[in-house]
Every structure is written in structure tokens, then in C-alpha cells.
Amino acid sequence: MAAESDVGATVSENQQPQQKIQLYPTSTGEISSFWREKYERDANKYWDIFYKRHQDKFFKDRHYLDKEWGNYFSGAGRKVILEVGCGAGNTIFPLLAAYSDIFIHACDFSPRAVNLVKMHKDFKEDRISAFICDLTVDDLSQQISPSSVDIVTMVFVLSAVSPEKMPLVIQNIRKIMKPDGYVLFRDYATGDLAQERFSGKEQKICENFYVRGDGTRAFYFSDEFLRNLFKENGFSMEEHVLCCKQVENRSREIVMNRRWVQAVFKAAHGNCMSGERTGKQVNHMEEDCYKPKVKDITWEDATNRSEIDLSEGMGVDMFGISSSSEEIVDIIIRDDKFKIKVLSKEYQHTCKSTGLILWESARLMASILASNPAIVSGRRVLEIGCGCGGICSMVAARSADLVVATDGDTKVLDLLTENIALNLKSPSLERLITKKLEWGNKNDIDYVKQLSEKGFEVILGTDVTYVAEAIIPLFATARELISSSRVVKDREPALILCHVFRRVDEPSILSAASQFGFRLVDRWPEQTPTGPYQGTIKSWFSEGDLEVPTAALNIMYFQSSTSD
């Protein structure tokens, strides 16, 4: 599918060149309101899928906690700790091993994560209370006695919460903390490489808040935001450290500059809640309660003494250098089984390219070609906007003289090449060629023309009609590449489109087709009222064993007026 196209490929040389059309809307970098609401509504589901996929292998156990915060965990009396967003227990179990006289409440809004904690070999009910809790909704005091917790640990957890709901989380934990309790905090900082890699992608939810490819979200904290967030909800900042570390993966030859913030907050006394202060007392108490004892740390110091929480898997996934975003799906077309590598479903909603997905229309058209090889047998076939799957082209290559599979996205073509090599053997393999083709692009059209000087007798397109601005370039390109040869009935050159009507309705498609000399001679499921080709498409379904993936699919059968 082309990213942008020249409209009107047949414009004469003495005319002014027409402006290129952007087939995809200009990116604002932000996701749509629909997805923003979905990520918020289903946040726990995405994390549950995360833990189903990774189990306890994603984060490293946090053995550095004793070194960084040991003075808070030690001391007289039994310490009661709340681990917020416990995950698989990477904080809980190192603490239990280091301190024999502590009790830990552990909560997470992912049921699977809580279950991983309970299934851990070191889980003991007399030392751990693990429960499901969404801190933006559920009242912690229903699970934990008010004013009973000495320490709350929040390690890479608050970043998963929408910034507008972060105050709810902090107010919730403050209710169950002792008057002089502490929050031990570590999370992503602005300027982290992971944040930088989001730049230019439509994964931004709001300022410093992004969605990853798997649907989980991450917020990156600035010093000012973090300080004010806790200050306005009744905490003073006791310590603050900005940690910077270079993480090197020598086998992959990459160096990742990671940044995170580490801080300690103390629950302020009674009326230090910002909403409870008035008059001069406010200014005086703000000065007393919120003057932080900041520790400075250099890049070199951080590299030598700070440990990073993320396993190699985390670094690989977050920085987009893994093939884990792809999956292989098995497609059965009649008696043949294809293994097709596509973009994993969990990443599809953040990908701008539509060609990395296997559409239902392609499955149907491939099944039709397999059941009715006469459609392409001995003919020259062109598939436009074929996507990475290429199953229509691969099926056609078994009986056609020549098949050219094209797409305007080079990443799609790379994956398509892999899929062809994975599924086709000689002689079909030699009959199938892949080529870049942006609709309306004269250079691309000329390159494809060289592969079949007489043009193509069958042009196929599956779900290539979803962008209104692309319809004119689509038919202009088809006009240039379709054969003009006169042949016997039922073997005349044809343009066959299979799709679900989405953003572009049928009248718009027919209008563009007519503009470039194409007429609709048959369609399915509703047939053309009259004409010699009525029932042609219906005959493709005559065996009755074709499975239609969705009732919304339509097939349009066009012929060029020059072939009359």
C-alpha cells in the first residue's frame, strides 16, 4: 500500500505536476481518543496478558534494595511493608530473604501477577498477604488497617497509571501508612531512551505518557512533576536521585542510555496535606515539610553503583530490536497449509502500516483462487497492495504464467519476501516476483511495466479501498498496468477487488473506476442486474466449500473499456 502517490499518472508532460497525496493522515504523534479510552479501561487486561506472556522472566529480582534503602527496612520492631504493583514478586522475595522480621502486603491489579506471587516457592502466608487491587478505584483500607504500614515500595509501578489518576493512588496509600511512614520510589525519568524511541510514532497518550506495543503504558517523570505530585498529596521529599546508566548489549551491538528517578517521600503530619492549609500557616509549613534533602549523583557514580531492574528481555522489547513483535500464523487454503509471518496482534494497534496484517479479504480471495485456478491459469497477474502475507499471489503462482506482488511499503516487502521463501517451492517460486509500487508513482509503474510489456490480464486487490485519497491513484495505476488485449469472453482482462466497505463507500469507488475507464460487470454478494458477466463471481462459490470469514466482505469485478 502506498504511503503517498502522484494523482493522475497519465498527465501529459506539458501540464503542471500535481501535488502528491498523503494516503495516511499527518501524524500528531498522539493516539486517538478511542484507543486512549480503551487503554485506560483495559489497563489491567493488558498487564494480565503481559504476565501471561512473560511469567516471572521479565524483570530482575531487586537485590539492590538492601544496598539502596537498607536503613529504612532495618531497625527495632517488626516492619510492615506494602509493595504496590507487586508484579511477579521481584521486590517481595529479595526483601524476605534479606530481612527475617518483616511482613509484606503485596497488591497488583493483574490477577495473573498476584497468582505468580502466590505460586512462588518462597511464598508464606504468615509473611505475605497478596491480593488483587486497583489503587485508582479500590479502597486499600478494606484490605489493610489504616495507619499500619511503615514502608510503601513503588518500583516501576506508578508510571503505568494515567497521570490524572496518580493523586488517587497516593491518597489511597497515605490512608494506610503510619504518620511517619516512608514511600520508597523508583521509576522512569524523562529523557530515558525508551521515551526517545516513542518520538515520531503514534504512541503518545499525553505529555510524557505513552503506550507500548503490547498495550501497557509508561509515564516518564520529570523532577518538577514528581515533587509536586507527592507534595500536593501530603508527602515531603526526603531524598531524590536521578540515575543514569549505559546498558550495553554486545551481542546486538547496541548501547542504551537509561534514566530513572529514585526518591524517598515521608508522610507529612496531619494538616500538611496541601488541601488543608490556609493563610500564612501554609507558607510556613510548606517550607518545613517540603524542603528535600537531595542527593546528587553523577553518570559515573550511577554506572558503578546503580543496578537496573530490567532483564535483557525488557530492553529488547522496549527498544524495538526484537522479532518478538512478529508471530507466525497457520493459514489453510483448501488442501494447502501456509505459515505466514505477520505483526503480532498485540502490536497491531500501534502500527501505522496496514500491510503487516493479514486481512480477511486476502484469505477469501486466496480460497477463491485455489478453488477456481482458471481465473489466473496461464495469465499474467498483478497484485496491488498485497501486504506481507501475499497468500493470493502465492496461490496464483501455482497456475499463472507470471505473478507480480506489489506494495508501497518496503518493510512489508521485506516480510513478504520471507513468507514467499517460507512457503513456495519451484516452479511456483520462479513465477512470483515482488516489486515496490506506490500507486500513481510513474517510476514505480514503469518498472512494473517492464515485467509484462503487454500488461496484466488479472489485477487483484484485497482491502485496498479503505483510504479515500488512495482511490484515484489506485485506479490510475490499474489503468496503466492492465492489458488492453482483446480475448474471448470470461478471459478478458479484469480488475478484481475484495474488501469490507469502511471509510470509502461504493459510489465513490464506482465514480473513480469510471473516471479511468473501468466498469463494474459483476459483484458479490449482490449481483449486477443485467449483463453477460452476471453470475461470474457466484460461480466461484459453486462448490459450496468456501468459507467466508465475515459477511461484510464484498467482491467487485471490473473490466476496462479498452478490452471491449
Cell digits of residue 255? 548501547
8 Å CB contact between 220 and 211 = no
pLDDT above 60 for 28: no
* DSSP string for residues in 306-366: PPP-B-HHHHHHHTT-SGGGEEEEEEEETTEEEEEEEE-HHHHTT---STTS--HHHHHHH
Task: Please give the CATH superfamily to which domain 33-318 belongs.
Answer: Vaccinia Virus protein VP39 (3.40.50.150)
Residue 533's H or E segment, with its range, is none
Q: How far apart are CA 512 and CA 468, in angstroms?
A: 10
Fold match, 4-24+342-563 / 33-318:
yes
CA geometry: angle 389, 390, 392, nearest 5 deg: 125
Share the mean pLDDT of the chain: 81
Q: How far apart are CA 83 and CA 183, in angstroms?
A: 10
Which residues make Cβ contacts (< 8 Å) with residue 106, sequence separation at least 6?
A: 82, 83, 86, 89, 92, 114, 117, 128, 129, 130, 131
172-175: list long-range contacts, CB under 8 Å, 24+ apart. 172/135, 172/139, 172/140, 173/82, 173/84, 173/135, 173/140, 173/149, 174/233, 174/234, 174/235, 174/267, 175/140, 175/141, 175/146, 175/147
Q: How far apart are CA 359 and CA 389, in angstroms?
A: 9
* DSSP string for residues in 184-241: EEEEEBTT-HHHHHTTTSTTEEETTEEE-TTS-EEE-B-HHHHHHHHHTTTEEEEEEE
Between these two residues, 6 and 515, which has the higher pLDDT value? Answer: 515
Whole-number pLDDT of residue 476: 96
Grid-cell match 513468507, residue found: 419
8 Å CB contact between 397 and 431 = yes
Which residues make Cβ contacts (< 8 Å) with residue 238, sequence separation at least 6?
A: 182, 263, 264, 265, 266, 292, 293
Cell digits of residue 161? 497509571
Question: Domain segments of the chain: what residues?
Answer: 4-24+342-563, 33-318
Rounded to the nearest angstrom, the gap between the alpha carbon of residue 399 and the centroid of all alpha carbons in its chain is 37
pLDDT tens digits, 399-441 = 999 999 999 988 889 889 999 999 999 999 999 999 999 999 9
- The predicted model gives 59-81 an average pLDDT of 86
| % of the chain with per-residue pLDDT over 90 | 52
Q: How far apart are CA 182 and CA 263, in angstroms?
A: 10
DSSP 482: B
Q: Write down the pTM of the prediction.
A: 0.54
DSSP 18: P
560-564: list long-range contacts, CB under 8 Å, 24+ apart. 560/479, 560/482, 560/484, 560/493, 560/495, 560/517, 560/518, 561/517, 561/518, 561/519, 562/484, 562/517, 563/482, 563/483, 563/484, 563/485, 563/486, 563/487, 563/492, 563/493, 564/486
pLDDT tens digits, 485-530 = 766 556 789 999 999 887 788 999 999 999 999 999 999 987 655 6
Q: What burial letters (b/e) apply to 153-186, b meaning 16+ CB within 10 Å?
A: bbbbbbbbbbbeebeebbbbbbebbeeebbbbbb
Task: Please give the CATH superfamily to which domain 4-24+342-563 belongs.
Answer: Vaccinia Virus protein VP39 (3.40.50.150)
478 pLDDT band (50/70/90 cuts)? very high
pLDDT tens digits, 524-556 = 987 655 666 778 898 998 766 677 877 789 999
Whole-number pLDDT of residue 13: 43
